[in-house]
């Protein structure tokens, strides 16, 4: 008798989270919520979770213990095993703080915009801007590899909120790569950008700024002049030509 009592209390310590009836989804009650108020209806929590998956472009198992194709009733939603779930909890607290702060904005409308996961995440789990993804990939593995990654992202996400495939991203990536002393890789990124935006004037200002980083004022002047040829109102290119003392040629 005494022995079984000991075992019983040990078991309680080992399993502080009471198990749900297996196979039941949605669960009857919430077990291990630390941010969501305990009394929140489970259907409302599931709705919130669907917003998480949509906002981050992931499935339940990104944060919860379970496998693709497994019935939701067999997931262990209460368990805190995955780091992503712990991060998500901090993110929930952060979003609450942001929205509280937004409410203090002078003149804010009663129904002003609220921040949600998708405000930053826009359908991807790490909300890194495209220029940064490409610049980091280029510095780490070279332009060829980064260009393959860029094309794969474009294939998958073009037309979505996730990444900006406009002209600016590769220009900014190229400039960042050039500042990391990889001018040839930077020019390879600009070449891809030129294929996509063949009439751009601004891209040639970037090209000039990039070749200047290795002291090539002649190529820089050629690039700035090309920018002006493409768009006679490009005052930035004119200013840059003056800055390098090539305005009069």
As a whole number of angstroms, the distance between CA 169 and CA 134 comes to 9
User: Is residue 12 a contact partner of residue 5, using CB atoms and an 8 Å limit?
Assistant: no
User: Site for ligand HEC (CB under 6 A): which residue of 14, 67, 105, 126?
Assistant: 126
> Is 162 near ligand HEC (CB under 6 A)?
no
Place of tokens 């794969």: 152
Tell me how far apart the alpha carbons of residues 121 and 115 are, in angstroms, rounded to a whole number.
11
Instruction: Using the minimum distance from each CB to ligand HEC, give the nearer residue, 161 or 184.
Output: 161
Tell me whether residue 63 or residue 139 sits nearer to ligand HEC (CB atom).
63
- Site for ligand HEC contains 133 (CB under 6 A): no
DSSP 144-167: HHHHHHHHHHHHHHTTSSS---SH
CA–CA dist 110, 100 (Å, integer): 13
Q: Kindly tell me which residue out of 7, 10, 87, 113 binds ligand HEC, with binding defined by CB under 6 A.
A: 87
CA distance 40 to 28: 12
Nearer to ligand HEC by Cβ, of 96 and 243: the residue is 96
Instruction: Check residue 130 for interaction with ligand HEC (CB under 6 A).
Output: no
In this chain, which of 73, 122, 125, 153 binds ligand HEC, going by CB under 6 A?
125
Q: Does 52 bind ligand HEC (CB under 6 A)?
A: yes
Residue 113 CB neighbours (<10 A):
10
Per rule CB under 6 A, is residue 58 in the interface with ligand HEC? Answer: yes
Nearer to ligand HEC, 20 or 193 (CB): 20
The Cα 134–Cα 103 span in angstroms is 36
User: Where along the sequence are the contacts to ligand HEC (CB under 6 A)?
Assistant: 27, 30-36, 45-46, 49-50, 52-53, 56, 58, 60, 62-64, 72, 77-78, 84-85, 87-89, 91-92, 95, 115, 117, 119-121, 125-127
């Amino acid at each position: 008798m005494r022995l079984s009592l000991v075992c019983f209390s040990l078991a309680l310590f080992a399993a502080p989270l009471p198990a749900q009836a297996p196979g039941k989804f949605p669960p009857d009650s919430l077990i291990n919520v630390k941010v969501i108020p305990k009394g929140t209806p489970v259907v409302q929590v599931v709705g919130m979770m669907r917003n998480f998956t949509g906002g981050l472009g992931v499935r339940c198992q990104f944060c919860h213990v379970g496998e693709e194709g497994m019935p939701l009733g067999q997931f262990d939603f209460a368990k805190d095993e995955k780091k992503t779930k712990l991060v998500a909890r901090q993110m929930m607290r952060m979003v609450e703080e942001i929205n509280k702060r937004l409410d203090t904005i002078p003149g804010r409308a009663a129904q002003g915009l609220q921040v949600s996961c998708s405000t930053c995440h826009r359908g991807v789990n790490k909300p890194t801007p495209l220029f940064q993804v490409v610049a980091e990939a280029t510095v780490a593995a070279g332009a060829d590899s980064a260009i393959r990654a860029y094309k794969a992202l474009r294939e998958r996400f073009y037309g979505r909120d996730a990444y900006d495939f406009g002209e600016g991203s590769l220009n900014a990536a190229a400039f960042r790569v050039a500042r990391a002393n990889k001018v040839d890789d930077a020019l390879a990124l600009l070449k891809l950008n030129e294929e996509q935006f063949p009439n751009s004037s601004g891209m040639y200002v970037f090209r000039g700024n990039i070749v200047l980083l290795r002291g090539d004022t002649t190529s820089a002047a050629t690039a700035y002049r090309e920018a002006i040829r493409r768009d006679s109102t490009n005052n930035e290119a004119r200013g840059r030509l003056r800055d390098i003392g090539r305005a009069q040629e």
